[in-house]
A and B are shown apart, each in its own frame.
Chain A
Amino acid sequence: MNPSICGAKRKVSLMTFPNRFQTSEAMTNTAEIALLQYLQEQRQGLLAAANMLGGGDGRELVEGLFDEIPRNGLSARRVRLALRALIALLSLANVHDHDSVEEIRLLADGLRERLQALFDREPTLEKGRPAA
């Protein structure tokens, strides 16, 4: 098992739930902050998991994300597409090491949950994509 993936299951969501006094912009920011925090906290785990499942391309996908996000933000189409590709990659998780599978699934769930929260606040980010 790759030790750098460890820790995902112990992480507690830092997302602060929006309340009725928050504007939609503030709520978008809350979702963005939650996603950014998660990406930062799980950076090594995401790199290791993507490398395990997607090899060099998986690793480059995550490294590219960490290059792109500071430059273009989470709303950029290429960032959004890369995040979705990463979630899909992590969702494969059919490797034979069952401990790693569980940890990778937790990473995928954590990322999916936070990205979905952002899309729920800012539906235009998902414009044009067919419903699942």
Chain B
Amino acid sequence: MGSIGRIDRSCAGPSVLAITRVAGFLAEEGDVLRDLLNSFDRKEAANMVHDLVELCREETPNTPGITIALGIVLEALEQVSAETIDQIAQRGQGPRDLDKAVLWYGAKISDLLQRLQR
């Protein structure tokens, strides 16, 4: 077993654990989230997802920076209107169940933000 599996997190602070969660989320969902944001033409937020990956990789994570960047991504999702989702769906663009994807990512990011701000 590699050393990664043996990292002792017992002394890690809450923000370190929260950042680990953000990093894990981005590792699994970052690419899809970026595609989703790009499909709504939210390029700045899509770029923020890329920056978030880098921010989480820092040896000493910039917690306010990660919180702000995550908040910007959430804000972008919140600003997506039902009309925009309908238009994209009618054009046959973007992933299926676009509305559910927005809700799911919004809820997930809200949860991550709450953990960061505890």
Contacts and interface: CB of A to CB of B under 8 A. Distances in A.
Interface in B19-76: 43-48, 50-51, 54-55, 58, 62-65, 67-69, 71-72, 75
Contacts of A77: 54, 58
A89 B44 CA distance: 10
Q: Kindly name the residue among B46, B64, B72 whose own CB sees the greatest number of chain A CB atoms within 10 A.
A: B64
The dominant DSSP class at the A interface is helix
B44 A85 contact: no
B51 A84 contact: yes
A130 B50 contact: yes
The dominant DSSP class at the B interface is helix
Q: How large is the interface on B (under 10, 10 to 19, 20 to 34, 35 or more residues)?
A: 20 to 34
Contacts of A64: 62, 64-65
Contacts of A130: 46-47, 50
B68 A81 contact: no
A64 to B, nearest CB: 6
Contacts, number: 68
Interface residues of A, number: 22
Interface string A67-89: 00000000001100110111011
Contact of A81 (B45, B55, B71): B55
Given A81-B62, A85-B48, A88-B68, 12 more contacts: A54-B64, A57-B63, A57-B117, A58-B68, A61-B62, A81-B65, A82-B62, A84-B51, A88-B72, A129-B50, A132-B43, A132-B47
Interface of A: 54, 56-58, 60-61, 64, 77-78, 81-82, 84-86, 88-89, 91-92, 128-130, 132
24 contacts: A54-B64, A54-B67, A54-B68, A54-B71, A56-B64, A57-B64, A57-B67, A58-B64, A60-B64, A61-B68, A64-B64, A78-B62, A78-B65, A81-B62, A82-B65, A84-B47, A84-B51, A85-B48, A85-B51, A88-B45, A88-B68, A89-B72, A92-B72, A130-B46
Give 10 nearest A-B pairs by CB, closest first: A60-B64, A57-B64, A61-B64, A57-B67, A88-B72, A85-B69, A85-B65, A85-B68, A82-B65, A132-B43
